[in-house]
Amino acid sequence: MLEAGFSGGCQCGAVRYAVSPGPVGQTLCHCRMCQRATGGPFAALAEVASTRIAWNGSPSTWASSNIANRGFCYRCGTPLFYRETGGTTTELTAGSLDRPETFRPTDHHGSERRLTWLSALDSLPQRPTLLEAGITLETYQDPRGA
């Protein structure tokens, strides 16, 4: 449960964060800006008071609009957060959590842009991650949270 405190970081490990215990808003945002900022069908976001986040490494930011910035790793590009300009909270990307399974979304935002195929996901065939025979995977990911 995220309220007990949690940690996360980017794929390469140059930017890490630790969040102290407290309330966490957990939402999915389907707006077009979140789709493009994450490169995914929606953003899964854990919102906490910005003062509760201890950063190790400095995320880069880009103003995606006049009201918000998007944070990401300058080296590997991992999307890390959404933050309203002048706001007091930071919405961390659930995929960057060390333990993403602890994320529990409670609502949907930006539902007008929700992709219609999302409702069919559970009916699709499923398979685990498998490597083709003869391929040896050498990962360059930060092992924390992998």
Residues at the interface with Zn ion (CB under 5 A): 10, 12, 14, 29, 31, 34, 73, 75-76, 110
Contacts of 67 (CB under 8 A, 6+ apart): 84, 85
29 or 44: CB nearest Zn ion: 29
Region of 122 on the Ramachandran plot (φ > 0 left; ψ -120 to 50 alpha; else beta): alpha
Residue 11 to residue 57: CA distance in whole angstroms: 13
In the bound complex, what is the minimum distance in angstroms from residue 101's beta carbon to Zn ion? Answer: 21
In the bound complex, what is the minimum distance in angstroms from residue 82's beta carbon to Zn ion? Answer: 7
135 or 146: CB nearest Zn ion: 146
Q: Which helix (H) or strand (E) holds 133?
A: none
Residue 107 to residue 15: CA distance in whole angstroms: 28
In the bound complex, what is the minimum distance in angstroms from residue 128's beta carbon to Zn ion? Answer: 26
1 or 85: CB nearest Zn ion: 85
Of 10, 9, 42, 12, residue with least CA distance to 26: 42
Residue 142 to residue 13: CA distance in whole angstroms: 5
In the bound complex, what is the minimum distance in angstroms from residue 132's beta carbon to Zn ion? Answer: 27
In the bound complex, what is the minimum distance in angstroms from residue 46's beta carbon to Zn ion? Answer: 14
